[in-house]
Amino acid sequence: MLRQLKQAAKQNGALVRAVRATYPAIAWAGNRRAVYTRLAPYLGEMEFDEVRLGGRGNEPEAHLGRTARMLPLRDSDLLVLGAGRGDELALWQRQQPRSVVATDFFAHADSWAAHPQTRFVLMDVRHLGFADRSFDLVASTALLEHVDGVEDLVRETARVLRPGGLAFHNFGPLYQTYAGAHYLGAYEHLTMSDAEFDGYLAERNIPLEQEEARHWLRNGMFSRLRYDDYLDIFKRHFDLEHVIIGVSQEALRYRRQDAARWSELTRRYTEKDLLTFSMTVWMRPKVAQQPLELSAGASAGRERLTA
């Protein structure tokens, strides 16, 4: 009954808007140092601008609002990396950009057909087939946790951005956190080899895990980077404008409820890695690193147009 009530509430647009109107106050309270260090003391030593102690305030609309304040989106040229089936594109299109180009490693022709204003390109995000300084904004959602070679992607992102341009990336779960391998579990993926974990998922035969966890695992598309690794890579190519870190509520609950297993995990991993769920970053390329001509590794001939 409670689940049904929650689902019904989510269908009520006015109620959803009213609830979301409370999120800034909740975020403000959660960002008091005394609050977040009590729940996760490791946060006191980390570098970030805001922390999310749960999903509230981490909605696409909230991210879009901050992006729009940092960069005029109307009449801008936008590149969306790892667009998947295009679920996020409607939000961007409503800002009336001059152009939208979307890439993905896998084709989703039927879904892409629903976005005639977007130009879709099959492409490896580590080798972008676009000229230098082609875009005002490069954005991605739920992508970086699936890239083996994040530094290549970040370097390419800086290359294709114009001076003063903006990069936005929202991604998670990070691999070391609770269910970080995109499955309905906890930390089993950290205690098994990839082959063992694949067998474990196969035996469970849960449809969502077959579509998510096993899909990314079989294609070698899990980044094993930790929070500090991402941050170091970003800083080599960009000046950070704003960083939001997400803490896993499930991980905090696991820590409370299973102290023995948590102690065992912390022999191999830090609490920072086990509890940090997501990262959201806005950043601008370092001026000195913006190239003048198309790099040798980014030939426009790599493009495979699908629209």
- One-letter amino acid at 155 equals R
Alpha carbon distance 86, 77 (integer Å): 17
Q: What is the pLDDT of residue 304?
A: 38
Alpha carbon distance 294, 52 (integer Å): 39
Alpha carbon distance 174, 275 (integer Å): 9
Alpha carbon distance 172, 176 (integer Å): 10
Alpha carbon distance 211, 201 (integer Å): 11
Alpha carbon distance 178, 251 (integer Å): 5
- The angle at the Cα of 76, spanning 72 to 80, to the nearest 5 degrees, equals 110
- CA-nearest of 123, 127, 115, 121 to 91 is 115
Alpha carbon distance 207, 105 (integer Å): 22
Overall CATH class of domain 47-174+225-250+278-305: alpha beta
Q: What is the pLDDT of residue 160?
A: 98
Q: What is the pLDDT of residue 59?
A: 83
Q: What is the pLDDT of residue 307?
A: 37
Name the residue ranges covered by the structural domains of the chain.
Answer: 47-174+225-250+278-305
Q: Encode pLDDT of 163-181 as tens digits.
A: 999 999 999 999 999 999 9
Q: What is the pLDDT of residue 38?
A: 85
**Averages of pLDDT over each 10 residues, the chain, 307 residues:** 46 56 58 82 91 79 93 96 91 94 92 90 96 98 96 98 97 97 97 97 96 95 97 98 95 95 96 96 83 43 39
- The angle at the Cα of 14, spanning 13 to 18, to the nearest 5 degrees, equals 115
Q: Encode pLDDT of 264-275 as tens digits.
A: 999 999 999 999
Q: In what order do the strands lie in the sheet with 119-122?
A: 50-52, 238-247, 276-285, 161-171, 135-141, 77-81, 99-104, 119-122, 304-305
